[in-house]
């Protein structure tokens, strides 16, 4: 792909790439700008936590999507179906464990929520495996067909979910110990949002560790940069891709559980509605970049909450506005991925 210039052959001069930290500054800048606008510090804390929580959930969902795109140029318009699936599985699992979710003890609540999350991840991952086989593999390298067929997969998936769980919205109440908020001075922070932030950070840490410290992660990153080169070194990128796709679907399932608990109701259409948000996030981050996706998600989450408080009518367009601004500054997203 890239021409080999003499300088890259020189042994001593392996240039160190200076990490690009400017996009990282966007988050504190946005948060700081919001302080005077919101008026009171305690409101700001509440809004910031709400925004971070929302951003973390979006990140969990979107990270798989952006990696799958980076590796194989596959953009899954049906990603939303895994979110819906995860959320509906949570209603089934938690619905059977009301004794534990209605209990006051945090430990018991966690023992109900964790299996729900595990089940959602397992089933969404399994369905992801089938989805990759049946829907995506036959149309590799044909972007037009890919868009249509993943959309078709989404339609069929949502209809099948309606067959199993019905077409109505199902309430998904928070376990008792997750309800209510904690007071930090004047500022109220909802407990569940705190929990979402913690889970989100854990997922980010694990993903960061896998991608930067393990061999699989190295191969994934290399594959995103230059697929052919990784293949020519003897690694089967196809298998790697399946693994990433399944992991991405499982994470979408987990995100679905968290989003469902965040909204406290679950509808068959929820996945499709989040899809647009996901696309905005991965475009902002730079298609294929996990770091960019993380910053993009948090930016979208914060922006949605600040704008929702300051100017509710503008809030509906705040994400698109954010995307336009970012793209005017960096047309390929915050962290452009090399080959495109």
Partner 1 sequence: MIFSRLLSGDLPRSRVLAVLLLAILAGLLLTPFAFPGAKALNVAAKICIFIVLVSSFDLLLGYTGIVSFAHTMFFGIGAYGVAIALNRMGPTWTGVAVGVAAALLLSLVLSLLIGLFSLRVKAMFYAMITLAVATAFQTFASQLSDFTGGEDGLTFKVPELLSPGFSLSEHPFLGVSLDGRLIAFYLLVAVMLVLFLLMLRIVNSPFGRVLQAIRENAFRAEALGYRTVVYRTYSNVLSACFATLAGALLALWLRYNGPDTSLSFEIMIDILLMVVIGGMGTLYGSVVGATLFIIVQNYLQDLMKLASEGMSKVPLVRDLLHPDRWLLWLGILFVLSVYRFPTGIVGKLRAKARAKA
> Which parts of this chain interact with partner 1 (CB under 8 A)?
73, 75, 77, 135, 138-139, 143-149, 151-153, 155-156, 159-160, 162-164, 167, 272, 275-276, 279-280, 283, 313, 316-317, 320, 323
- Using the minimum distance from each CB to partner 1, give the nearer residue, 44 or 69: 69
Q: CA dihedral in degrees (79, 82, 84, 90; nearest 10)? A: -160
CB of 115 to partner 1, least distance (A): 25
- Euclidean distance between CA atoms 166 and 297, whole angstroms: 31
- Using the minimum distance from each CB to partner 1, give the nearer residue, 41 or 140: 140
CB of 124 to partner 1, least distance (A): 19
Helix axes 237-263, 270-285, angle to 10 degrees: 120
CB of 71 to partner 1, least distance (A): 14
Helix axes 237-263, 191-213, angle to 10 degrees: 170
- Using the minimum distance from each CB to partner 1, give the nearer residue, 35 or 75: 75
- Using the minimum distance from each CB to partner 1, give the nearer residue, 32 or 134: 134
Q: Determine if residue 95 is left, alpha or beta; phi over 0 gives left, psi from -120 to 50 gives alpha, anything else beta.
A: alpha
Helix axes 191-213, 290-310, angle to 10 degrees: 160
- Using the minimum distance from each CB to partner 1, give the nearer residue, 102 or 269: 269
CB of 273 to partner 1, least distance (A): 9
What is the phi/psi pair of residue 138, to 5°? -65, -15
Beta strands in the chain (DSSP E): 170-171, 181-184, 187-190, 265-266
CB of 312 to partner 1, least distance (A): 10
CB of 65 to partner 1, least distance (A): 11
- Using the minimum distance from each CB to partner 1, give the nearer residue, 50 or 135: 135
């Amino acid at each position: 792909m890239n021409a080999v210039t003499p300088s890259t052959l020189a042994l001593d001069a392996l240039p160190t790439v200076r990490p690009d930290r400017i996009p990282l500054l966007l988050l504190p800048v946005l948060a700081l700008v919001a302080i005077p606008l919101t008026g009171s510090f305690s409101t700001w804390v509440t809004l910031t936590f709400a925004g971070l929580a929302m951003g973390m959930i979006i990140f969990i969902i979107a990270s798989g999507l952006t990696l799958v795109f980076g590796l194989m140029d596959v953009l899954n318009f049906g990603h939303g179906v895994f979110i819906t699936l995860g959320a509906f599985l949570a209603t089934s699992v938690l619905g059977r464990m009301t004794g534990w979710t209605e209990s006051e003890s945090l430990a018991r609540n966690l023992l109900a929520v964790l299996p729900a999350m595990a089940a959602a991840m397992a089933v969404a991952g399994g369905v992801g495996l089938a989805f990759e086989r049946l829907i995506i593999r036959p149309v590799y390298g044909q972007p037009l067909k890919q868009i249509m067929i993943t959309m078709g997969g989404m339609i069929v998936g949502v209809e099948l979910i309606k067959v199993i769980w019905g077409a109505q919205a199902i309430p998904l109440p928070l376990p008792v110990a997750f309800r209510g908020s904690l007071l930090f001075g004047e500022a109220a922070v909802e407990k569940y949002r705190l929990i979402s932030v913690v889970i989100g950070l854990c997922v980010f840490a694990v993903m960061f560790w896998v991608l930067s410290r393990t061999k699989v992660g190295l191969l994934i990153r290399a594959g995103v940069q230059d697929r052919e080169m990784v293949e020519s070194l003897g690694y089967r990128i196809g298998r790697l891709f399946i693994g990433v796709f399944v992991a991405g679907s499982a994470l979408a399932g987990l995100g679905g559980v968290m989003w469902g608990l965040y909204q406290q109701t679950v509808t068959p259409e929820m996945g499709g509605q989040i899809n647009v948000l996901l696309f905005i996030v991965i475009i902002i981050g730079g298609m294929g970049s996990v770091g960019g996706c993380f910053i993009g998600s948090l930016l979208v989450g914060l922006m949605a909450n600040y704008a929702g408080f300051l100017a509710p009518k503008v809030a509906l367009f705040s994400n698109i506005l954010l995307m336009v601004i970012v793209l005017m500054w960096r047309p390929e997203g915050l962290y452009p991925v090399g080959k495109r």
